[in-house]
Structure 1
Amino acid sequence: MKRAELPSLDDLRAFEVVARLGSVRAAAEELNLTHGAVSRRVAKLSLDTGIRLIEPSGRGIRVTVAGAELAAAATGALSMVSSALVRLRATRAEAPVVVSSERSVAMRWLIPRLAAFQGQYPEVDLHLSVGGGAFDFTRDHITLAIRRLDFSIDANWRVEGLFEEAVGPVMHPDMAERFAAGHYVALAARTRPDAWQKWLSAHPDRDRPESTRFLDHHFLMVEAALAGLGVCMCPRILAIDDVSKGRLVAPLGFTPDGSRYGLISPAAAQESPSASLFRSWLAETIAADLSGEGMPLAGSCG
């Protein structure tokens, strides 16, 4: 069939929606057009094809036999075009990289650095979700997961070590003298309620706190320390920015607690170029941060 013999695609689409919904008004709502515009398109299609497509029926309309045949063909053709576009777009556009990170790490370390990543790789469609512990890549629609490796690791996962967890007492600068004198309130996260006990057991020469206040998450604990409410037992990664800027101090440095953080991905899956870029950037950024001055491990500070 010559191109000139084909009716307008806009007119054909309008008629297909009218026939499928059985109503010009409903078709107008779906197409975001006026009732009159849809009616004109259907009338023009009928005129161009020489086929009576719809006819009055009571207070509404009904599709003629010939109209029903054309509508079925139009539905099939438009569906094929839609499916083809979905396939073509899927092959051309790389899927988004969805990174799942523990909430406190995301809020206090990762998010402040993502602008640098996006500036370096603007073509990467990166999404961030938060969560802790075990997860399911398929169910949770995750590409990569940043986790403290303190739970069972699936045999089908690939785990790349990111950094060794280290903790230490962190406080507002005005709190340093009280901490040194042993007159301080300890701040702890409910997610690691024994953190202070473990640290004090490893440092028997240090004074015990006068009391301990628990907060639900590490990021809340750090905010409390910033407000001068006490001394928090803080993971090094969560305090790095505030210590480097002088908003917090870590006079005794940080002691490894025996755990590690890792970047987890499905072992069998073919990693996309975008995911690989994020993987490399993450490792480089962590290495640069944790090798910087002002965040010493205990034993390396003077």
Structure 2
Amino acid sequence: MARNLPPLSYLKAFEATARLGSVTRAADELGRTHGAVSKQLQLLQEQLGIPVFEKSGTGLRLNEDGAAFFATVSRAFDLLEERYQELKASRNEASVHIACSATFAMVWLVPRLAEFYSLHPDIRVQLSMSSSARDGGTNRARDGVDFTLSWDRLARPLVKGEFVPLASVSFGLVSAPDYPFRAEGAEISFPTRISPDDMSAQWTSWQAATGHRVSAQSELYFPHMHLCVSAAATGLGVALVERRFALNELKSGKLVERSRFLKYEDGFVAMMKPGRTLSPAASHFLDWLRSAFVREAA
């Protein structure tokens, strides 16, 4: 007899949204669009015949039925993940599992993976998209992840727990060369500012740290920072970005720097699971990552 279960994609969308309290963050972690995750949640609730979430400010929270369902789904996922990792480990295959933001994966890491594979052809790199990579590792670390890469010190200035510093990060304003921009002393004004979803606090943190006061008539939001960079390059507004992710556009002239960049030394870190010993494969990857950052800064 066939099992009467919803599609696994619906359950993954539910589990991630319930755990993170945000459709946007769930979409970031799952590598899906906000609309796709919202649709999966809608279909799941239609199949259940009851709502499992309720509005909470700009996010979502579980209602009583949802909390009970989440406890069951989360336990099931934990058991599946644990057994999956055991089976993979039994093959004695050298691998490293990394959680990182979609922006870092697409803009920086994936274009350089060929270099790592040329140095370590027997190691395989597994990537998971995770908002915890962006917000400093405050979300629950998944058991199968060797470490989480975290870079957004504007959102989370302090890094808690065990971590390995890898490189500095720098945040500043960029726009298309002909985009209207006015700066008089500490006062900065322009028509539209561009922000990643749920990350408007970056602007407040940057202004407090630099002494600038930013005035914008409107704001546009995009799910990932690399989309904010692209939007700024097409003339949609001014974006507050980590310089590493806008470097190609700055070099090509599609973007220009509109402010000095606020630098956090050792702001790019690898967040470790407490008490977890890194495998040789994970250590090789961290060494390569650190050396790649050093060459980039030279």
Coarse TM-score class (shorter-chain normalised): 0.5 to 0.7
Q: Write out per-residue CA displacement over residues 268-297 of structure 1, whole angstroms, 9 at most, x where no aligned residue.
A: 4443322111110111112222x25xxxxx
Larger radius of gyration: 1
Q: Which blocks of at least 5 consecutive residues in structure 1 are unaligned?
A: 1-86, 293-302
What TM-score do the two structures reach when normalised by structure 1?
Answer: 0.56
The whole-number CA distance in structure 1 between the counterparts of 2:265 and 2:121 is 37
Counterpart of 2:174 in structure 1 is 170
Give the drift of 1:93: 3.3
Give the AA of the match of 1:172.
Answer: A
Q: Which blocks of at least 5 consecutive residues in structure 2 are unaligned?
A: 1-85, 133-138, 184-188
Q: Which one has a larger percent strand, Structure 1 or Structure 2?
A: 2
What TM-score do the two structures reach when normalised by structure 2?
Answer: 0.56
Give the drift of 1:184: 3.5
Is 1:234 aligned with 2:234? no
The whole-number CA distance in structure 1 between the counterparts of 2:196 and 2:266 is 17
Would the alpha carbon gap of residues 125 and 256 (structure 1) be closer, same or farther in structure 2, given more than 3 Å must change?
Answer: same
Q: Is the 8 Å Cα contact of residues 175 and 237 (structure 2) preserved in structure 1?
A: yes
Give the drift of 1:267: 5.1
Number of residue pairs matched?
197
Q: How does 1:131-280 map to 2 (within 5 A)?
A: 131-133=130-132, 134-138=139-143, 141-148=144-151, 150=156, 153-154=160-161, 158-175=162-179, 178-180=180-182, 182-202=189-209, 208-256=215-263, 260-266=267-273, 268-280=275-287
The whole-number CA distance in structure 1 between the counterparts of 2:194 and 2:294 is 28
Is 1:115 aligned with 2:114? yes
The whole-number CA distance in structure 1 between the counterparts of 2:284 and 2:174 is 33
The whole-number CA distance in structure 1 between the counterparts of 2:169 and 2:209 is 15
Q: Is the 8 Å Cα contact of residues 191 and 217 (structure 1) preserved in structure 2?
A: no
Q: How does 1:56-135 map to 2 (within 5 A)?
A: 93-133=92-132, 134-135=139-140
Give the drift of 1:119: 2.5
The whole-number CA distance in structure 1 between the counterparts of 2:119 and 2:177 is 35
Could you tell me the percent identity over the aligned residues? 26
Q: Is the 8 Å Cα contact of residues 164 and 259 (structure 1) preserved in structure 2?
A: yes
Please give the secondary structure, in 2, of the residue aligned with 1:174: coil
Would the alpha carbon gap of residues 169 and 95 (structure 1) be closer, same or farther in structure 2, given more than 3 Å must change?
Answer: same
